[in-house]
Structure 1
Amino acid sequence: MIKDVALTIAGIDTGNGAGAETDIKVFEMLGIHGVMAVTAITAQNTKGISDIDVVNADFLKKQIEVLKEDFNIKSVKIGMIYNKEQFKVVNEELYGHKIVTDTVIYAKDGTQLINDIDDYKRLILKISTIITPNAVEASMLSGIKIETIKDSEEAAKKLYENYGVPYVIIKGGHMKGDYSIDVLFDGREFYEIGYPRLSKKNTHGTGSVFSSAISGKIAKGYSIVDAFREAREILQNAINYGLEVGHGIGPIDPLVYSEKKMQKYQVIEDMIKIGNFIENQEKFWKLIPEVQSNIAHSISPQYVESLDDIATFRGRIIKRWDKKIMVGYPPVFGNPTHTARLLLAIILNYKVGNSLINIRYDERILKILKSLGYEIIEINRELEPQYGEGKTMQWIIEYIKETYGIKTKLPSVIFDKGMKGKEAMIRFWTSSVEEMIESLNAICRSL
């Protein structure tokens, strides 16, 4: 198998939160073979950097030389690069490559990682294709205090003009407000990406992940603008699911991006599996209500944020006149069905479940579910406020909390006896598709 190759020039973070090893992790996630030239070894954990052992410039040169002579390097990411001697080596060895520079002047704990700022500007910025400073770093490099988007634009222009950097990205994460904006300037136009500010404790490695994601995408042939957009999505996911490891500021998790994509593929396979079961279970027609049925199935509850993380069948599960069942393929994400909305409400409120189906109300079915060991709870649809169908599923959860005081352990079977214009219904959730299939099969055999 042939893979594109990307090189990272960076230090080693012994706590595996940033640095060369995190860059390699991001490259591999993106399908890139990552290689590294190490500039320093840090004694580091989530509480900060205790010491730095800087690699001799001659040895850094040797690392780069042997990598260049063997690999076709498509892009380079520069992170921690410590002194003037190292700057010169990188300038001489990598001039002309596509270089993404993470201007990591200070570590998260305030430790200075780049000395000789003037030489850094002259020797590193001038050979960079893209630089990715945050607002604080961009202020230091440009001399413009950045507090607004307009400040970011002015600083980006100045860095472009003074150092000839073709693409300047200034990240907005250090600016005030509930909403942040990253700015990309290419010498002609500004491109902006806005995103909600995430109030998270574990944020170590944001700069490394962002810049290495851009570098990896460039190695795969993406345009700069598209690489910028993809990197922001990767970073936002990584921050949202930062790792609670150690006793200080934990690392973000870039692998969440690919993990969620892989899980969505598994969800589609699961939906086909349960669809096949439904169409081939001869008695399944006995479970279909008048309004028909559907299945909602999600990725792991810890990663669910919206309906985009939950799949249902595009069409409903329909009972034909001859009692045959037709499943409304294909399974799709983001379909705002009742089943998807209820599963989302359950997950967001209780952090449980990944599969849910609506089936016909029948006392016999309730007895069978109870005999299988499931707890059952009734809701009274007559008490539902008149605020439209879109909020019914969330109301069901609010009703259960207020009426029964259930804050932690939600029963798996939620039913109502209907009301005028509303069919009685059983809603049944499980923590896996396998459990759902086994339980539905047991119901059908008992009817």
Structure 2
Amino acid sequence: MKKPVVMAIGGFDSGGGAGVESDIKVLESIGVHGVGAITAVTAQNTLGIKHVTVVDHNSLRKQIETLLEDFKVSSGKTGMIVNGEQMKVVFEAVNFPLVVDPVIYAKDGTKLIEDLEAFKKFLLPRATVITPNAVEAGILLGMKVETLQDQITASKLIHERFSVPYVVVKGGHVKSSESVDVLYDGKEVIQLSSPRLPGRNTHGTGSIFASSIAGMLAKGFPMKEAVRRAKSITEESIRYGLEIGRGIGPADPMVPLEKIAMKAGVMKDMEIFAEFVEREKNFYLLVPEVQSNLAHSIDPKYVTGIEDIATFRGRIIREWGGRVRVGFPVAFGYPTHTARLLLSIINKQGVGDTLINIRYDPKIVELLKRIGYEVVEVHRELEPQGQEGKTMSWIVDHVYESLGKIPNVIFDRGMIGKEAMIRLWTSSIEEMMESLTSLLREIGK
């Protein structure tokens, strides 16, 4: 099997939050092979950098040359290039498209580039794209970059002054309701917006963004799409920044890969549940007239929307003779009532990954109480008019406002045009099957 190869040139972060080891982790997560050339070894943790050992420029040259002797490098990314001698090595040795992340200062204020003029002389001429934040863009140009208009101006000036084909001025340091990154290609200004996330664990986001661009370019994506995908990866990494150490923790670039693995697990769980449903001879007694469906999510901590919740696209259907058929395929992001209700519960209290709707019967409600579940009744006639598509969120909000929590069993007795229904949520697929098994055992007596 062959993969594109991307070279990361920069420092080694002993805390694992940024640097070449972070770059390689990102590159591997998006399907390219990462190789690295080390410019410095840092002694650092989440509290900051304690010591830096600079690698001799001749050693850096040998690292790059050795890699190029054996690998066909599709693109590269630079981070911490400490001094003019190292920058000259990169200028002379690199022969592939280069994403330059101008890490002038670390988050704790440590200066990481000793010679800014050498940076302009040697690294910028090699850059295919440069990715400064607002502060770094301001330092390069000798101006303040504090607004979106400043970002646009800075991107054009860097392109014109230093002849860099593509310039991305990131908006993380610009005070605004959204985070807007500005991409300029010499002709067009492209604004890429995303919600401003509240997380404080953002160490290494610059590395994640730049190495993601390099990886996407190596995979053949055009620059605009490479930047867009890199922004999405970085945003997801910030959303789930790691609470490790006592300072600013690292962003987690592995989250997209972890979520893919979780979704594979969810699909396997759904297959197991379908087998359970179809072999339980009395399961048809639980299926309402409008049929049932199961909603099952990835770990609730990682759920950001309906796209992280799976249901059976064809529902759980009661057929003649007491048979039950599960309507495959399993689909993520399909906006069923069960999926929307589960999402509302997760958004409200952060727990629960499985939910099913079953037939309303006072006996079933009592049996669920006997199993040990807390039960709450919702009166659908209290639902405000004009709530089409928002019923599930209304149910959750209404219950939470009344009780300060969401009991595992929520039922209503229906109304004109609305079938009475029981909705049961659990913390796992195993708990759901155990509870339904107990319920069916009692119903069958």
Q: Normalising TM by the smaller chain, what interval?
A: over 0.9
Aligned equivalents of 1:279 and 1:437: distance in 2? 12
Q: 1:76 is matched by which residue type in structure 2?
A: G
- 1:41 equivalenced with 2:41 (yes/no): yes
- Select which of 430, 433, 436 maps to 1:437: 433
Contact 2:182 2:189 in 1 (8 A): yes
Q: 2:414 is matched by which residue type in structure 1?
A: G
Name 1:299's counterpart in structure 2.
298
Name 2:2's counterpart in structure 1.
2
Q: 2:38 is matched by which residue type in structure 1?
A: V
Deviates more, 1:263-272 or 1:127-136: 263-272
Name 1:137's counterpart in structure 2.
136
Aligned equivalents of 2:272 and 2:128: distance in 1? 48
* Aligned residue-pair number: 443
TM-score, normalised with respect to structure 1: 0.94
- 1:266 equivalenced with 2:229 (yes/no): no
Q: 2:234 is matched by which residue type in structure 1?
A: L
Contact 1:295 1:312 in 2 (8 A): yes
Aligned equivalents of 1:199 and 1:338: distance in 2? 30
Aligned equivalents of 1:146 and 1:433: distance in 2? 51
Name 1:167's counterpart in structure 2.
166
Q: 1:159 is matched by which residue type in structure 2?
A: I
Deviates more, 1:338-347 or 1:388-397: 388-397
SS of 1:318's partner is strand
SS of 1:353's partner is coil
Aligned equivalents of 1:142 and 1:153: distance in 2? 13
Name 2:354's counterpart in structure 1.
355
Name 1:246's counterpart in structure 2.
245
SS of 2:175's partner is coil
Question: Using a 3 Å threshold, how does the CA distance of structure 1 residues 111 and 287 change in structure 2: closer, same or farther?
Answer: same
How far did residue 336 of structure 1 move? 2.3
Name 1:120's counterpart in structure 2.
119
Q: 2:53 is matched by which residue type in structure 1?
A: D
Q: Which runs of 5+ in 2 are unaligned?
A: none
Name 1:63's counterpart in structure 2.
63
Aligned equivalents of 1:272 and 1:226: distance in 2? 35
Q: Deviations over 1:87-118 (max 9, x none)?
A: 11111111x31111111111111111112111
How far did residue 123 of structure 1 move? 0.1
Q: Deviations over 1:136-165 (max 9, x none)?
A: 111221344323333322222222222221
Aligned equivalents of 1:323 and 1:362: distance in 2? 18
Name 1:28's counterpart in structure 2.
28
Aligned equivalents of 1:180 and 1:256: distance in 2? 20
Contact 1:210 1:232 in 2 (8 A): yes
Q: 1:301 is matched by which residue type in structure 2?
A: P
How far did residue 431 of structure 1 move? 1.8
Name 2:51's counterpart in structure 1.
51
Aligned equivalents of 2:157 and 2:63: distance in 1? 34
Contact 2:148 2:174 in 1 (8 A): no
- Select which of 411, 415, 425 maps to 1:415: 411
Give percent identity, aligned residues only: 55
Name 1:100's counterpart in structure 2.
99
Deviates more, 1:307-316 or 1:199-208: 307-316
Q: 2:132 is matched by which residue type in structure 1?
A: P
- 1:395 equivalenced with 2:391 (yes/no): no
Name 2:84's counterpart in structure 1.
84
SS of 2:10's partner is strand
Alignment RMSD: 1.9
Aligned equivalents of 2:188 and 2:379: distance in 1? 57
Name 1:194's counterpart in structure 2.
193
Name 1:333's counterpart in structure 2.
332
Aligned equivalents of 1:411 and 1:77: distance in 2? 51
Deviates more, 1:231-240 or 1:66-75: 66-75
How far did residue 387 of structure 1 move? 4.0
SS of 1:229's partner is helix
Contact 1:293 1:318 in 2 (8 A): yes
- 1:427 equivalenced with 2:423 (yes/no): yes
Q: 2:104 is matched by which residue type in structure 1?
A: I
How far did residue 422 of structure 1 move? 2.6
Q: Deviations over 1:55-101 (max 9, x none)?
A: 1111111211222212222211100000011111111111x311111
Contact 2:346 2:352 in 1 (8 A): yes
Q: 1:425 is matched by which residue type in structure 2?
A: M
Aligned equivalents of 2:191 and 2:278: distance in 1? 48
Deviates more, 1:161-170 or 1:116-125: 161-170
How far did residue 413 of structure 1 move? 1.7
Q: 1:380 is matched by which residue type in structure 2?
A: H
Contact 1:169 1:182 in 2 (8 A): yes
